[in-house]
């Protein structure tokens, strides 16, 4: 007997209700949300939820893939009418095909989506749809209706999202929690919201130079997959009801758009190969790339060689990694993903000088590529050159002052230089960037008690402590008020 998850039933009930209320034409949803929930409040909510998300095991903080989804997402978001909205794209290590939008422009993309898509335009289609839920303020409106924007509710939103992501069994577990499932119900978008996000998303796809047909082809494939798996419906469908009507709507709109064939970017192919070689056991990943090359069944020959090189490095086969990397470099234009792997191979080969030379050259060409900056600083720290590592990190901080990982590297460098005040201050800045203000305050207190630092450093740290205490108190007050 087939069981249908209560969450799916809930989603269905909601979309039926919405369809009855909705009527045939796209309603003007108006701007009712603005009055009750400001974009700043929404962003703060998103940050609170992100603290939970970041501590989830599936949160996947891999700089190359994360930089890629941010590049792709921001290229789309730049074409939206509301260019002031800030966006942050992040990855979840999850085989289910899904992407989801949180309050405040935080958009999660499952690794499963990147693997299941057959072109970059398909991935862009799903992300453009999520961006549109944010810019059309669908989420703000849902939360405004909730009326209990307390921190407990926020925590349960996060719990519901994380649980529903994992599997339908877990979603049922969430249902048992009662409150969490009620919030999950709130997070299911209505049919009108879905149509509006499709319509606006298609415009973004087109304006950003992707193939708008990518949206339709991907949704059709999702729907066919559902026919086969029934109750194991991909989690995407639970939060974004997908109907024949909706797909027909997209196809009608496509008729107004010119046909165009858009080749996938090199980064898209490389990042997919990177994810496979990172997430699968290296032997299996290598076998996959070997077979794809032998049968010439690949979307990009260069990316298959790159994937093979990355898998060989994981197995510590330096010779093979070098050979495959050279083959990839012959087929692909110069790019930071290849450079990063090539420096990693140099590092694994054991020559400190060769490693430093590789990173130095690569960073000249790609000064803002995070994977290179992190790796280079880490290599220097391991080679007991903390002063050099500090230079690399501080140079990057000039343009990326919100990156908590840079502060963690800075703290390691100061620790190695035996400067406890600066070390704990850097640690405090990392916590502050992660939204954990109490931990940031605590770190500064430890630093100030260490007996380290000159007059200038001490008074600067004291001023920062005062500011962080004020922000922490403010955040606590806001949490209580609601
Ligand atoms: Zn949707």
Q: At what angle do helices 151-166 and 168-176 cross, to 10 degrees?
A: 150
- Measured in Å, residue 196 CA sits from the centre of ligand 1 at 9
Partners of residue 100 on adjacent β-strands: 108
What confidence score (pLDDT) does residue 64 get?
A: 95
What confidence score (pLDDT) does residue 188 get?
A: 56
Number of CB atoms found within 10 A of residue 232's CB: 13
Residue 64: partners with Cβ closer than 8 Å, 6 or more residues away:
271, 274, 337, 340, 371
Strands across the sheet with 99-101, in order? 59-60, 88-92, 106-110, 99-101
Residue 212: partners with Cβ closer than 8 Å, 6 or more residues away:
121, 125, 202, 205, 206, 254, 257
- Measured in Å, residue 193 CA sits from the centre of ligand 1 at 7
Task: Give the distance from CA 89 to its chain's centroid.
Answer: 4
- Measured in Å, residue 235 CA sits from the centre of ligand 1 at 12
Indicate the length of the chain as a whole number: 482
What confidence score (pLDDT) does residue 477 get?
A: 80
pLDDT < 70: residue spans in the chain: 1-36, 143-189, 225-242, 479-482
- Measured in Å, residue 186 CA sits from the centre of ligand 1 at 13
3-state secondary structure 423-469: HHHHHHHHHHHCCCHHHHHHHHHHHHHCCCCCHHHHHHHHHHHHHHH
Contact 100, 108 (CB under 8 A): yes
**Residue 187 is encoded by which pair of tokens?**
């997070």
What confidence score (pLDDT) does residue 104 get?
A: 87
- Measured in Å, residue 83 CA sits from the centre of ligand 1 at 20
Q: DSSP letter for 258, please.
A: -
**Residue 164 is encoded by which pair of tokens?**
């529903």
- Measured in Å, residue 60 CA sits from the centre of ligand 1 at 22
What confidence score (pLDDT) does residue 391 get?
A: 96
What confidence score (pLDDT) does residue 459 get?
A: 96
- Measured in Å, residue 187 CA sits from the centre of ligand 1 at 10
What confidence score (pLDDT) does residue 144 get?
A: 66
pLDDT tens for 278-298 read 999 999 999 999 999 999 988
**Residue 305 is encoded by which pair of tokens?**
């060689």
- Measured in Å, residue 195 CA sits from the centre of ligand 1 at 8
Q: Which residue matches tokens 């090189």?
A: 309
- Measured in Å, residue 139 CA sits from the centre of ligand 1 at 10
Number of CB atoms found within 10 A of residue 191's CB: 21
Long-range contacts of 303-309 (CB under 8 A, 24+ apart): 303/266, 303/269, 303/270, 303/272, 303/273, 303/328, 303/332, 304/273, 305/331, 306/270, 306/273, 306/274, 306/332, 306/337, 306/338, 306/341, 307/273, 307/274, 307/276, 307/277, 309/341, 309/345
Contact 180, 160 (CB under 8 A): yes
- Measured in Å, residue 272 CA sits from the centre of ligand 1 at 24
Buried-exposed string 87-126: b where 16+ CB fall within 10 A, e elsewhere: bbbbbbbbebbbbbbbbbbbbbbbbbbbebbebbbbbbbb
CA pair distance 110, 308, nearest whole angstrom: 23
């Amino acid at each position: 007997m087939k069981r249908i998850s209560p969450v799916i039933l809930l989603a269905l009930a909601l979309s039926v209700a919405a369809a009855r209320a909705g009527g045939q034409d796209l309603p003007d949803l108006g701007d009712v949300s603005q009055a009750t929930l400001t974009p700043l409040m929404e962003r703060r909510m998103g940050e609170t939820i992100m603290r939970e998300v970041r501590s989830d095991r599936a949160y996947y903080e891999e700089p190359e893939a994360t930089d890629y989804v941010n590049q792709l997402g921001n290229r789309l978001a730049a074409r939206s009418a509301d260019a002031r909205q800030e966006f942050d794209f992040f990855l979840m290590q999850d085989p289910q095909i899904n992407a989801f939008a949180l309050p405040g422009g935080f958009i999660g993309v499952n690794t499963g989506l990147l693997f299941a898509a057959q072109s970059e335009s398909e991935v862009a289609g799903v992300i453009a749809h999520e961006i549109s839920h944010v810019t059309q303020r669908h989420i703000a409106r849902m939360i405004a209706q909730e009326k209990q924007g307390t921190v407990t509710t926020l925590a349960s939103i996060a719990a519901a999202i994380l649980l529903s992501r994992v599997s339908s069994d877990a979603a049922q577990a969430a249902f048992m929690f009662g409150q969490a499932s009620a919030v999950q119900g709130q997070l299911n978008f209505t049919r009108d919201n879905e149509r509006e996000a499709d319509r606006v998303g298609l415009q973004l796809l087109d304006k950003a130079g992707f193939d708008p047909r990518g949206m339709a082809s991907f949704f059709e494939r999702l729907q066919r997959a559902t026919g086969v798996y029934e109750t194991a419906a991909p989690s995407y469908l639970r939060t974004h009801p997908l109907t024949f009507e909706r797909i027909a709507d997209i196809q009608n709109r496509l008729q107004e758009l010119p046909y165009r064939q858009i080749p996938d970017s090199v980064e898209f192919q490389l990042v997919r190969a990177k994810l496979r070689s990172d997430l699968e056991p290296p032997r299996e990943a290598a076998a996959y790339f070997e077979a794809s090359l032998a049968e010439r069944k690949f979307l990009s020959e260069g990316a298959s060689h790159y994937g093979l090189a990355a898998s060989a490095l994981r197995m510590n086969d330096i010779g093979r990694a070098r050979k495959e990397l050279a083959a990839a470099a012959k087929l692909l234009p110069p790019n930071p993903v290849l450079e990063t792997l090539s420096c990693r191979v140099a590092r694994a080969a054991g020559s400190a000088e060769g490693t430093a030379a590789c990173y130095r050259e690569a960073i000249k060409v790609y000064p803002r590529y995070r994977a290179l900056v992190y790796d280079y600083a880490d290599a220097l720290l391991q080679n007991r050159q903390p002063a050099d590592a500090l230079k690399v990190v501080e140079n990057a901080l000039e343009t990326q002052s919100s990156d908590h990982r840079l502060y963690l590297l800075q703290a390691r460098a100061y620790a190695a230089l035996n400067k406890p005040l600066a070390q704990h201050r850097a640690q405090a800045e990392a916590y502050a960037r992660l939204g954990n203000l109490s931990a940031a305050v605590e770190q500064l207190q430890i630093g100030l008690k260490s007996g380290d630092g000159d007059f200038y450093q001490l008074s600067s740290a004291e001023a920062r402590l005062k500011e962080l205490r004020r922000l922490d108190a403010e955040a606590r007050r806001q949490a209580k008020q609601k």
